[in-house]
Structure 1
Amino acid sequence: MAEFFTRVQMEGAAAIIRNRSRYQPTVGIVLGSGLSEVANQVKFPDIIPTDQIPHWPVSTVAGHSGRLILGRLEEKVVMVVQGRAHYYEGYSMDQITLPIRVMHILGIQTLIVTNAAGGLNPEFVAGDIMMIRDHINLPGMAGNNPLRGPNDSSVGPRFPDLTEAYNRQLQEIARNTAVAEGFNLKEGVYAYVAGPSYETPAELRFLRNMGADAV
């Protein structure tokens, strides 16, 4: 039987972060490939190597340094995850999602996740920024859902409604910011596949026909 983290284990990881930082973050930011420099914008940071946090998955991918940076970014107190682990590195879904559950325990209510992806929409070009409106979780639909296993109602419901998985207010902020900064923000549906191999041409056609704009 698969093993799942208990509330006590997640609380233990959160306690390490609380004890080593002056801050109570309200916003979590997960940095994807090529975006690690964003962490340098955090003011007066407390830095915690993730390999010093019990149960925290450590990335083996180049460019994912494995640090938490807590501090001030603009007018918010943030916790930035600089370097994240991936499912294809051999971790379980429970391990991969542990950082998100720990953020929830820390009181973080707003989560911004970034990543590099491949474009499927023919109107996209390399370097475009796409805001995710919806997603297709293929491994999850096949049974490898991160919510599989014992449910902790203090973290969330057994059967969450994903009709509006992405906050509309935050989407509008992103749109307004794009206009103010003068760049063309794309929007679309993101398809999640397990990796690490890239998709075959047939798989790309399949994903596009399903309605995905990026993978």
Structure 2
Amino acid sequence: MPEPSSAPTESDLPLPAGTSILSRPHSAQLFFVYPGLRRALNGKNPMFLLHSGLAERNLAFLRDPLVQFFEGGLDDNYPSFDAVLHWHRRYAASLPQLSEVYCVGNSSGGFSALEMGHHLKVNAVFAFCPRGPGRGPRLRQLLSEWNGRTEFHIHYSPHNQKDTEFAEALADTPHLTLHPSDPKHNDDHKIMSQMARRGDLAAVFPPQKTVDAPAG
């Protein structure tokens, strides 16, 4: 992920409206997390943290109060998509211990994770049942040329027609892997919470990496 010309400190950056931060100075990883239109990852954030295995990583939850995929910005400090994108870069640069950055999103947040992750050139994107009404062709065009770094992962249920159509339309995207759930689970659009209840969610994400003890 490219760094800004000057690295600010975390305290220098006003938080975008609707953004929550979980800071873990010992962690060498940062996850940008984008909830769906209900502004939660199919449940309360504490449940997500409990079942995701990410509670000891640096997390930035970004909610879009305008429900426009960040296209209208977030507030007066970040009035456009490009301004929000620039905040991502500056925030990551403010954490000098980082060696890995990821994007995670659910439903409409899954669309944002794919889009932001491409622009940011993060290590990987994990999108759960992504949706972007009217925006699928634009996303396919954007992702058709690989950014040279990011691995994309889409988890969805074959029982949900809209989610399946959206995911499979991206099947030919470079460095993108589709992960349909096993039909026996009878998952639906709430696949993220369903995976969490089965104990399958934590295994999706990379192992924890700390500053003092790198994984592997």
- Is the shorter-chain TM-score for this pair beyond 0.5, marking a shared fold? no
TM-score, normalised by the number of residues in structure 1 = 0.30
Larger-Rg structure:
1
